[in-house]
Structure 1
Amino acid sequence: MLRLSIGNDKWTDEFETQIEELDITDLWTLQVNENNLENGGLKFERETFGSFRCSYCRHHWSSSVIHIRFLITLDRPCKRGIVNMKIAKQSCKMCNCGVMEKPQISDENIKIMIKNLVLKINRTFYEKEKDGRHLRSINYYNEPKGPHDKDHCEDCQEGHSYLEEPWYQDVSHHKETKSQQGLSTALTVAGVTVGLGALALACMAFSNPKNSSKK
């Protein structure tokens, strides 16, 4: 069953759960902002899937490009870290009322976004998990991906652009792909070896014909 969240508690609760798993002594908090983020700190930007419902005409739509921005700061002397987060809203293009609606994002995709955030924190501030891979959000919607509607996106209207870091399904998938590639190479080499052996035997048979039978 697909569980959707629209409030901020799920984000903060999930962040507290995952950040506590790190072997660190700094205290970290996540704050979800409705307004623009201030300058300063480490910027981390991602995109995820979600859905919207217009509060005016009740039109429902899904989006594969929901912008999420994080601004990360760590006060090392005070051993306190703060993450300010903003989720971009979208407006309805059916009634064009102009009201910016909050997205509904699945619990699983919230976990994925927070996992990517915690990985970024761990890698940047504590120099750990150098080989960690960012995960891609899950698309629960069967609608085909179309071009992003920039005219009805809050962040696009404010002039924000995104350059995401490369994503990977997970480490095990990455290793499995490499393993399959290695197996394919080994089979190719084995096939070439067998072919060369057969060719050598054929040449030997041709150069040493059997002696004719004695009368």
Structure 2
Amino acid sequence: MAQLEWTRLFNIQADNLPPGDSWSLEFDDKLVPDSPNHGWKQYIRNTSARFKCTWCGRSWPSNRVMVVFHMRLVYGKGLVKVRRFRQNCKNCTSAPMEEPSITSENIDILLENLVDKIRMKCYHEDLGRGNRPFVNLDVKSPHEPAHCEACRYGICTRS
């Protein structure tokens, strides 16, 4: 369900890319941060999301949800692979890692920033602007690295 929303919003944002090339988005949970394959470019960004434990039903917000994109353009065909990093419940022992639930607004912001990165890295445009910030959630408890998949990879933005 969420993947359809990502694809729909990506297709809207991709209309801002130079005409003539076709771009597609796919999810790849095997992407390794900081190790894009030869010829691929990387973009890493954090956002806000909610998580829900499939075991106990507990839910929690996080403003430290990492998303990794690998992109390339070859012979007019552009491909973006995306991996959303997961978190697990601190109350359940051996709880499974849960997918983040990111609002459409924050998905749109992520993809708008991604398209800017594609224009810079694949088309060598100088846009002269930074990332558009994501919309924060009201988070009461501190980030817990032991329950964060991105922390395990050493890419989390925790301070």
TM-score when scaled to structure 1?
0.66
SS in 1 for 2:51: strand
How far off is 1:91 after superposition? 0.7
Task: Give the counterpart letter for 1:28 in structure 2.
Answer: W
1:39 corresponding residue in structure 2: 36
1:42-191 mapped onto 2 (5 Å cutoff):
42-75=41-74, 78-139=75-136, 141-144=137-140, 146=142, 148-157=143-152, 159-161=153-155
**Deviation >4 Å, runs of 4+:** none
Confirm whether residue 27 of structure 1 aligns to residue 22 of structure 2: yes
CA deviation after TM superposition for structure 1 residue 129, in Å: 4.8
Question: Cα deviation per residue 1:106-135 (whole Å; 9 max; x = unaligned)?
Answer: 110000000000000112222335213311
Partner of 1:173: none
How far apart are residue 160 of structure 1 and its match?
Answer: 3.3
Taking the aligned partners of 1:22 and 1:55, their CA distance within structure 2 comes to 39
Q: CA deviation at 1:73?
A: 1.2
Corresponding position of 1:9: 4
Paired residues, number: 153
d(CA) in 1 for partners of 2:78, 2:8: 16
**Is the Cα–Cα contact under 8 Å of residues 33 and 86 in structure 1 kept in the other structure?**
yes
CA contact (8 A) 1:50 1:106 kept: yes
RMSD value over aligned CA atoms?
Answer: 1.9
Distance 2:90 2:156 in 1: 23
Relative contact order, higher structure (CA 8 A, sep 6+) = 2
Shift of 1:33: 1.6
Q: Secondary structure at the match of 2:30?
A: coil
- Which runs of 5 or more residues in structure 1 are unaligned? 1-5, 164-215
Give the helix-richer structure, 1 or 2. 1
